[in-house]
Amino acid sequence: MASDRLYDLAVRYRKAKLWKDLTDDALFGVRLADGEIGYCSVMGMMGEHLALGVYCGREGLDSYRLLSQLTEDMQDSEIFLCMISQDCLQCSFEMKDALSPEALEEAKSYGKRKRVSFRGRMAFPRFLRYRPYYSPVDVKDPREEEILCLALKAAIAIAERVKEESPEDLGFTYGEPFDREIPLLEPAGDGFRWSKQPLPEQHEIVMESPSLSNEILLGKIKRMKKRGERICETYLFPVLTELEDGSGLCSFPVVLIALDPKSGTVLPDVMEMVCHGAEALLASFATALVKAGSVPSAIYVREERAYLFLENFCKQAGIRLYKEDSERTDILDEIEEDLMSDVGDFPEFGLEEFDDLDGIDEFGMMSAIESMIGQCSDKEIRKMPKDVKKTVRAMLGQGMFSPSVEQRLKKLLR
């Protein structure tokens, strides 16, 4: 349950309307209790999504940077992976029907105690934690709440100063989140000490290249006769699925397509939750090969990500690995379309599945989706993968989104 202090600061922040003076790329930093910097983004100048996002440390900042590096020539799966890799805390302001019953009751209880009325468009505070590859969840960790409180307090201090000084005079800069300085606010007494802080360099992005650690399974594969070939590609499903660990969290499945071009069949059961890591998916692939009783002598891929994923395993197993974009691998497009045809029926398929899961209901599902969409800028929504756009369009007009989000999506996806 969010504290009254967090609600107090959220109410003050909304009244300050800092988004009228700062764009979402005008970052500022706050020095956190552990010495890290929380990189803050003020969202709302376009009027579609009011929020303050806090990206903690270089890891958080790098997840923010992923969105600025999206290009139209990227694979759809790569774009979607960037979108679900966000690592941040967020205080957003929503319409009443975008809140879960518990969050709505909590906000109403606070309003009654404090005599605060959440009226108007996007008035209800909501506090969310975004973790890479997971659905967003309400903030419950006291340390995360303290970070949000500090960021909100700093934002309120900035709002006071921009009444008299321009953002540029206060040290705000704009553009891509690289090679520039931003204001840094460090707690000092009842206020903040201001300075400038250069944005750190981005961590090198290293694609995973796992090895098969199960020696027994590897031994079976080495002893099997190798014949034929497989055409492979990894593909991320844009469908939230509840984990089986009892945590109640949801993540996204990633599937390894392994096609036998001679028979036209795809190796079954090569799927893992992306949050479980590359080693788990590789183990599923190796297990499926053994179950099928067929290990290929050669594997063809067309993406660098798939090549690196299989490189060490193929060396271990004595399988030749080739990377090429040709007629041989073009068949993968047809397979992906077939896979996504079910996802295209998302309003029926996805919600039926979630109705059968303990602790997950239709409201919770849609709330998670709406929160994720709300975090994206207009540019990011327009760059969503084609299949994701198709899925979202199918959900419009079904009463699944709040009116403000529905209107925004209709405008951006028409």
Closest CA to 98 of 369, 378, 348: 369
- The domain spans of the chain are 4-198, 215-343
Is 233 within 8 Å of 303 (Cβ atoms)?
A: yes
Domain 215-343, classified CATH 3.30.420.10, yes or no: yes
Q: Which residues contact 374 (CB under 8 A, 6 or more apart)?
A: 49, 51, 92, 94, 405
Distance CA 58, CA 45 (A): 25
**Mean of pLDDT over the chain:** 84
Is 278 within 8 Å of 133 (Cβ atoms)?
A: no
Band of the pLDDT at 91, cuts 50, 70, 90?
very high
Q: How many CA atoms lie within 13 A of 175 on its CB side?
A: 7
| Residue 336: both structure tokens together | 């992906």
| Residue 23: both structure tokens together | 């764009």
Closest CA to 90 of 62, 125, 116: 125
pLDDT at 347 over 50: no
pLDDT digits (tens, 9 = 90+) for 151-186: 999 999 999 999 999 999 999 999 999 999 999 999
Average pLDDT over residues 9-19: 96
Is 227 within 8 Å of 296 (Cβ atoms)?
A: yes
Closest CA to 161 of 191, 186, 138: 191
What is the amino acid identity at position 30? V
| Residue 368: both structure tokens together | 């998670």
DSSP state string for 356-368: TSTT--HHHHHHH
Band of the pLDDT at 375, cuts 50, 70, 90?
low
pLDDT digits (tens, 9 = 90+) for 211-252: 999 999 999 999 999 999 998 888 777 777 888 887 778 888
Band of the pLDDT at 47, cuts 50, 70, 90?
confident
- Give the range among 39-53, 255-269, 366-380 with minimum mean pLDDT: 366-380
What is the amino acid identity at position 272? E
Query: Comparing 97 with 296, which gets the higher pLDDT?
Result: 296
Phi, psi torsion values for 260, nearest 5 degrees: -95, 105
pLDDT of residue 364: 47
pLDDT of residue 74: 72
Average pLDDT over residues 187-200: 96
pLDDT digits (tens, 9 = 90+) for 390-404: 667 767 765 666 666
pLDDT of residue 98: 82
- 292-303 per-residue burial string, b: 16 or more CB within 10 A, e: under 16: eebbbeebbbbb
Band of the pLDDT at 295, cuts 50, 70, 90?
very high
- How far from chain centre, in Å, is Cα 241? 14
Is 389 within 8 Å of 67 (Cβ atoms)?
A: no
pLDDT at 367 over 60: no
* DSSP 3-state of 282: helix
Q: CB burial class (10 A; 0-12, 13-18, 19+) of residue 56? A: buried
What single-letter DSSP state applies at residue 412? H
